[in-house]
Structure 1
Amino acid sequence: MSLIQSIKSVLSPPHRAALPFLAITGGVTLLGRATPWRVTRWIGNIALAGFGFCLYFFRDPKRFPPPRADLALAPADGRVVSVELATPPASLGMGAEPVWRVATFLSVLNVHINRMPAAGRVTKISYHPGQFLNASLDKASDLNERNEVLLTLQDGRQMAVVQIAGLIARRIVCYVEEGTPVEAGERFGLIRFGSRTDLYLPPGVTPLVSAGQIMIGGETVIAHL
């Protein structure tokens, strides 16, 4: 990502999910700083810092997916923490054969909008309550609170995106419903304040990324389909 793109990303408008947080921190800021008392002004200054953090955390930059239908794109910004063969989530009915899984860890500094890796139709969504372990750990895929989204591609093959809550993240948001048609790079949800997103590729598809690589959601190519 170039310097100009980085600046545009930081200065991009916030996602609508930020509105309640901005309203609360903004209101406390105005009330606290409008009073003559030192304590309330101090509270107002803290709220102002929270307002700035919410603007930054919920930023929603525009992304430009490659104009090709044969690609699997990164479903989130962040750093790849593992690329390995793994059994898909049993609740999605993708079978027991291991497929390639690319796990991306999102810190509180990353853009937290989740995006569809390819065009197709959402055919199943399965939510699982769970723990809030460090999302960079492998066991987070099975133990943490998560939301599993099954995507059926236009050629009938299937892939899955799993939103996983982390040590700080406590709220998974998913806007799509079963039966919803989607496009590659389309926004479909977010996870508040640090998380992980796993992408299960279709059988026979090999990832082109490696652990440690930085992802740009909706733009970075994960694999050729």
Structure 2
Amino acid sequence: MRFHREGNTIMLTTGLVLLALNLLAYFYLFSDNPVAIGLLLVVSLILFGLVVQFFRVPTRQLTQGELQVIAPADGKVVVIEETTEHEYFKDRRRQVSIFMSPLNVHVNRNPISGIVRYFKYFPGKYLVAWHPKSSTENERTTVVIQTKNGVEVLLRQIAGAVARRIIWYVKEGQPVNQGEEFGFIKFGSRVDVFLPLDAKINVNIGDVTRGGVTVIAELPEA
């Protein structure tokens, strides 16, 4: 396991602030109260541990398959439905949405290999991720990857009430490989995947996914 570079500044700052607070408490604030010092130390360690786990990147054997669509994120499947995608496709698609809690790994991975045909970032609100309007009003990005067979899959990173920053590492025209990182959502939220109507969905509502590992769908052969 390693820790993601997006967390370096936050982890260092949190550690230094908590260290300074504990030293201040030990030498000045609670110098005659060992119980208070001990309680503050325990709370500080728990808080630092929570921050550190946000940025963990576990070592995994990633799934590879040309027709397999791999989960772009760790989390829970909260939406599986046929819907109209209005931004890019402007037609009916199969949508699979994965909710990332603050306890999940926050790396987002390419579900397929191909070429990035479309990318756009939208600033916006920070409604809770399961709010019906979060997919159109929250801060978000849209990425469309086209496979070598011409099939396009759309990914949408959506910030939530806790997640306040979306990171992306892709741009239009860039070739990407299945399982590689395409982005990061600090402190969790949601990733939507829009698939062709004839894609076979391999997950159910409530299933827990592992980014880069779980096969959420299979694309039709050309």
Scaled by the length of structure 2, what TM-score is found?
0.87
- Residue equivalent to 2:183: 189
Q: 1:27 aligns with which of 6, 16, 41?
A: 16
Q: 2:80 aligns with which of 74, 79, 83?
A: 83
Are the aligned partners of 2:82 and 2:197 in contact in 1 as well (CA < 8 Å)?
no
Misfit runs of 4+, over 3 Å: 39-50
Letter in 2 for 1:202: P
- Distance in structure 1 (CA, Å) of the matches to 2:63 and 2:17: 43
Residue 158, structure 1, aligned to residue 155, structure 2: no
Aligned residues, how many? Answer: 211
Q: 1:29 to 1:106 in 2, by over 3 A?
A: same
Letter in 2 for 1:79: K
Structure with higher strand content: 2
RMSD: 2.0
Per-residue deviation at 1:200?
A: 0.6
**Stretch moving more, 191-200 or 135-144:** 135-144
Identity of aligned residues (%): 39
- The C-alpha deviation readout for 1:81-111, integer Å capped at 9, x for no partner, is 1100122241xx32x2211000111111111
- Residue equivalent to 2:57: 60
**Stretch moving more, 59-68 or 13-22:** 59-68
- Residue equivalent to 2:28: 37
Q: 1:69 aligns with which of 56, 66, 82?
A: 66
SS in 1 for 2:49: helix
Are the aligned partners of 1:21 and 1:51 in contact in 2 as well (CA < 8 Å)?
no
- Distance in structure 1 (CA, Å) of the matches to 2:120 and 2:30: 46
Scaled by the length of structure 1, what TM-score is found?
0.86
Residue 141, structure 1, aligned to residue 135, structure 2: yes
Q: Mapping of 1:107-146 within 5 angstroms?
A: 107-146=101-140
Q: Structure 1, unaligned stretches of length 5 or more? A: 1-11
- The C-alpha deviation readout for 1:6-49, integer Å capped at 9, x for no partner, is xxxxxx32100110011101212332333402369687765544
Q: 1:190 to 1:89 in 2, by over 3 A?
A: farther
Bigger Cα Rg:
2
Q: Structure 2, unaligned stretches of length 5 or more? A: 32-36
- Distance in structure 1 (CA, Å) of the matches to 2:19 and 2:91: 56
